[in-house]
């Protein structure tokens, strides 16, 4: 879909033939802004209304930003001629709601966080509308930025990579992703989570000969041939590796198993799906070679075959880069490795140091009881304000 720019959108009008566009106050407390974003349902592939609201607010309530729309992605950037550019990126979509929209507030002790605080509950509070709210708030209120800024709010992050709006921007508007450092507002409990691990999945398959189970000696059981695979997985010792002070922990795990025909039939086909989460010092090719080495005995014997079914490269932390090092300093040196895969990998592939930094505990993402401490939203906003104004 082509990009659209120019023209101020009236947030009170239905300029897309839908319901009225919700009004967002970008200068308000980022906690209140988070609540307003949560109340706009935006399950993947249904982000039009929230994109409308974000676009209208950026056009009307910020100065010095060029704002464009690309499908349901909203992009904004300054061009003040400052020596460095920081890119702030966040996805607008959520997983399907689970009776947790609109938002609600609570106060008191939270056993998960182990703290007494006020909490904001609702779909997206953690993943990642609180991060979006912080970025939007800073775009409207930052008075003397030390860096030029690019803001990227994109769609379809929570579903298959082919739909990811950031990928569409990389393909159609690559100049909008140029930056000295990128910050993704993914939930990190307010700490810098640097880089990300890579991931690949393989299917290990075995074949046999079907027979009646009463005459099992006449068949060849495909499931039994996978016994060595499971034994190897149970004995596997994952590697730990330190990169730029971040310890990454790898993991090789069976995530699905299939086979069997009926309760009285020897199966002639079976498979195990294995997921390898690998440290970012390995390429996809190196990671796949390692998996092949792990199962070399079964592969060499001809008992099984191996097929790569999915892969995504990791991202090195890049904390030694001056722009990233300044962010670590602003965060009082608090950083750790990112174990899951995130879109920082896309920036790493472009040669741009990228980190994850946002409010909320990632272990609460996608849960029906998703929530975030309101103090954490404000702390991240203050941290980034200090860094961007330095």
Q: What are the sequence ranges of the domains in the chain?
A: 3-195+315-389, 198-312
356-388 burial, b at 16+ Cβ within 10 Å, e below that, comes to bbbbbbbebbbeeebbbbbebbbebbebbbebb
The four Cα atoms 323, 325, 331, 333 give a dihedral, to 10 degrees, of 180
Distances in Å between the Cα of 294 and the Cα atoms of 202, 215, 236, 336 are 12, 34, 8, 28
Tens-digit pLDDT profile for the chain (390 aa)?
434 433 333 333 444 455 699 999 999 999 999 999 999 999 999 999 999 999 999 999 999 999 999 999 999 999 999 999 999 999 999 999 999 999 999 999 999 999 999 999 999 999 999 999 999 999 999 999 999 999 999 999 999 888 999 999 999 999 999 999 999 999 999 999 988 999 999 999 999 999 999 999 999 999 999 999 999 999 999 999 998 888 999 999 999 999 999 999 999 999 999 999 999 999 999 999 999 999 999 999 999 999 999 998 999 888 888 878 888 888 888 898 888 788 998 998 898 988 999 999 999 999 999 999 999 999 999 999 999 996
- Across 122-215, the runs of DSSP E, i.e. the strands, are 148-154, 181-184, 192-194, 198-207, 211-212
Structure tokens at 362: 């990632």
307-345 burial, b at 16+ Cβ within 10 Å, e below that, comes to eeeebbbbbbbbbebebbebbbebbeeebbbbbebbbbb
Phi/psi at 238 (5° precision): -70, 150
CATH class of 198-312: alpha beta
Stated pTM of the model: 0.83
d(CA 129, CA 123): 9
Q: What is the DSSP string of 55-79?
A: HHHHHHH-SSEEEEEETTEEEEEE-
Phi/psi at 91 (5° precision): -90, 145
Residue linked to tokens 């106060």 = 107
Superfamily of domain 3-195+315-389: Zn peptidases (3.40.630.10)
Q: Which of 91, 95, 93 is nearest to 152 (CA)?
A: 91
The residues carrying an active-site annotation are 93, 157
């Amino acid at each position: 879909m082509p990009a659209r720019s120019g023209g101020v959108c009236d947030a009170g009008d239905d300029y897309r033939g839908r319901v009225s566009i919700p009004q967002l106050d970008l200068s308000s407390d980022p906690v209140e802004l988070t609540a307003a974003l949560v109340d706009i349902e935006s399950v993947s592939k249904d982000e039009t209304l929230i994109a409308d609201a974000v676009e209208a607010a950026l056009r009307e309530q910020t100065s010095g930003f060029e704002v464009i729309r690309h499908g349901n992605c909203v992009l904004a950037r300054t061009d003040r001629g400052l020596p460095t550019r920081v890119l702030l990126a966040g996805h607008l979509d959520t997983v399907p709601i689970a009776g947790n929209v609109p938002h609600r507030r609570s106060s008191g002790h939270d056993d998960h966080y182990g703290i007494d605080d006020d909490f904001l509950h609702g779909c997206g509070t953690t993943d990642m509308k609180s991060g979006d709210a912080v970025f939007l708030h800073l775009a409207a209120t930052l008075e003397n930025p030390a860096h030029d800024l690019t803001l990227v709010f994109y769609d379809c992050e929570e579903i298959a990579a082919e739909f990811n709006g950031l990928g569409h921007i990389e393909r159609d508007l690559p100049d909008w992703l140029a930056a000295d450092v990128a910050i993704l507002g993914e939930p990190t409990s307010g700490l810098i989570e640097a880089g990300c691990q890579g991931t690949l999945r393989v299917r290990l398959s075995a074949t046999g000969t079907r027979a009646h189970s009463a005459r099992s000696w006449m068949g060849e059981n495909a499931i039994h041939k996978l016994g060595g695979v499971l034994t190897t997985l149970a004995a596997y010792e994952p590697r730990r590796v330190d990169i730029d002070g971040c310890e990454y922990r790898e993991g090789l795990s069976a995530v699905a198993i299939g086979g069997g025909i009926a309760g009285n039939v020897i199966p002639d086909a079976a498979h195990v799906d294995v997921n390898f989460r690998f440290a970012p010092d390995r390429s996809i090719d190196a990671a796949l070679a390692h998996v092949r080495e792990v199962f070399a005995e079964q592969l060499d014997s001809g008992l099984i075959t191996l097929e790569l079914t999915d892969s995504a490269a990791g991202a090195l932390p890049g904390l030694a880069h001056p722009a990233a090092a300044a962010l670590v300093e602003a965060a009082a040196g608090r950083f750790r490795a990112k174990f899951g895969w995130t879109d920082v990998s896309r920036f790493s592939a472009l040669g741009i140091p990228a980190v994850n930094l946002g409010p909320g505990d990632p272990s609460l993402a996608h849960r029906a009881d998703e929530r975030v401490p309101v103090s954490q939203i404000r702390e991240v906003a203050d941290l980034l304000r200090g860094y961007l104004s330095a």
